[in-house]
A and B are shown apart, each in its own frame.
Chain A
């Protein structure tokens, strides 16, 4: 007799094979590396103008990477990767086969979500590892910047963890949009629109309640030296994400797939 865990384990195993040779897998690794790589080049060639002599260079290095990622690149990445993963199913007319399989209907939605959660986690781990490796490489190649004199592994790890939690709701929302709409332009277009809305309204006093600002608030916390582990936006993200996931799972199991 199959249990829920068996259905999820099998489903996740099947889903992970679907992204073999696909852009979704490459994007999860290359997107964070490209952010770190670009910042590395800027620091390598222009570090002497950015960094103050004798100051901790990691502060600027992490701040530059975290801010660019949390405000713009992370939401865009989530919109793109969810569209690509669900697009594989839309393009292969695979939904009907999945819903006609002898598995509970709700597992189709949850398995796909778990795969995207895993891909996002891979992306964050790559980003974290790249950030540290590139920082130490700068310390080796440009000893005058002073990267080699400081250790911030714990601080950077907590910072990445904060951004990850704060971005969960964006992941869930973009996942639901791309699950529902076959047209890839809808999910990517909505992602761009939501990010632009944040950039335009970033000086608004209530912007902290807007989901696409939550990774920015989480990243901003990491730039201050004395901060709590959790910021309110991380709780908002966790709570809203869980609620939307339950709603999406219920809706997907009732929905008719034409």
Chain B
């Protein structure tokens, strides 16, 4: 089985509002799959559909090669899930929270200690959850998801609300679960920067459908600007003037640097010679990279409808 999760033309409607408008997802076995999208894009709705908490308005969901609707209990046995805020009983200890789920699932008692060790919570397992930090709650939520030793983990925003060190810990934990324990992980996030170092595959959800699906590398290659250089010089003012006179598009950056657009690759040598011939020392010359965050934003920014543009421009014309 190549894909653990497959959706075909998945649709979901809430009242008159279309949340998902035809989602095709393919989550490869053994991957850490990042499911990205801005708040309200439909990520949590998709996860609830995958777990059978919501009923789709159309399309199909296949988990482990089986139709979810007809094999709900059977496929859910192979899935561990963390949906938004972890479901924790705050008056019970961490260990008792695991014990509640262990009893419900009929799992071996040893699993409680095993998952506590995986998420590094053995020392605090006896304490009531109401005394846990947010990071500890998230880790306990992952321990709950791991309790039945599932092949697939579905995690909805597992880094939500965590500080940078908590995010780093979570990243290490997810990579460890994937590489050392062989889990396929499907995780959602609204921040690319939080998961770009973790995931092997990702998709970007925008307005109810995917605007990208592939690897991080593919995303980077797909959207790199054709030819943008960052040039570091000793005299920014002179360099700016020389380049503008030659017809280049120039943008000043902090730290004696300029961003210059070049039409073809060969123009880079010409630009370098031009600056040197004018007595300007060039100490750095690199192709600029658009950050992944910028790529993500460019793919998920709201497009203004035509009539809203008209209403914005009309008053300017009058002035």
List A residues at the B interface (Cβ < 8 Å): 2, 6, 10-11, 13-14, 17-18, 20-22, 88, 91-104, 256-257
Contacts of B73 in A (CB 8 A): 102-104
Determine if B100 and A18 form an interchain contact, defined as CB atoms under 8 angstroms apart: yes
Complex-state Cα separation, A6 to B81, whole angstroms: 23
Contacts of A11 in B (CB 8 A): 104
Complex-state Cα separation, A53 to B90, whole angstroms: 55
Complex-state Cα separation, A14 to B97, whole angstroms: 10
A97 in contact with B76 given A14-B103, A256-B54 (CB within 8 Å): no
A100 in contact with B103 given A21-B91, A92-B88 (CB within 8 Å): no
Contacts of A13 in B (CB 8 A): 103-104
Determine if A21 and B87 form an interchain contact, defined as CB atoms under 8 angstroms apart: no
Most A CB atoms within 10 A — which of B72, B81, B104? B104
Determine if A10 and B103 form an interchain contact, defined as CB atoms under 8 angstroms apart: yes
B-side interface residues, number (CB < 8 Å) = 32
Does B196 interact with chain A (Cβ within 8 Å)? no
Complex-state Cα separation, A22 to B99, whole angstroms: 16
- Within 8 Å by CB of A100, from B53, B89, B96, B100, lies B53
Complex-state Cα separation, A102 to B150, whole angstroms: 11
List B residues at the A interface (Cβ < 8 Å): 48, 51-55, 72-74, 76-77, 79, 81, 83-85, 87-92, 96, 99-101, 103-106, 144, 148
Determine if B103 and A97 form an interchain contact, defined as CB atoms under 8 angstroms apart: no
Determine if A102 and B91 form an interchain contact, defined as CB atoms under 8 angstroms apart: no
Complex-state Cα separation, A132 to B51, whole angstroms: 52
A10 in contact with B87 given A100-B51, A100-B76 (CB within 8 Å): no
Contacts of B76 in A (CB 8 A): 100-102
Contacts of A101 in B (CB 8 A): 76, 101, 104-105
Between A and B, 7 residue pairs with Cβ closer than 8 Å are A10-B104, A10-B106, A17-B103, A18-B92, A93-B87, A96-B48, A101-B104
Determine if B53 and A257 form an interchain contact, defined as CB atoms under 8 angstroms apart: yes
Contacts of A97 in B (CB 8 A): 81, 83, 87, 101, 144
The smallest C-beta distance from A102 to any residue of chain B, in angstroms, reads 4
Determine if B87 and A94 form an interchain contact, defined as CB atoms under 8 angstroms apart: yes
Complex-state Cα separation, A100 to B53, whole angstroms: 7
Most A CB atoms within 10 A — which of B51, B89, B99? B89
A-B pairs, top 4 by smallest CB distance, nearest first, are A97-B87, A102-B76, A14-B104, A14-B103
Complex-state Cα separation, A48 to B283, whole angstroms: 107
- Within 8 Å by CB of A99, from B53, B55, B144, lies B53
Contacts of B77 in A (CB 8 A): 102
The smallest C-beta distance from A104 to any residue of chain B, in angstroms, reads 6
Contacts of A14 in B (CB 8 A): 100-101, 103-104
- Within 8 Å by CB of B106, from A6, A22, A96, lies A6
Determine if A20 and B104 form an interchain contact, defined as CB atoms under 8 angstroms apart: no
Contacts of B89 in A (CB 8 A): 18, 88, 92, 94
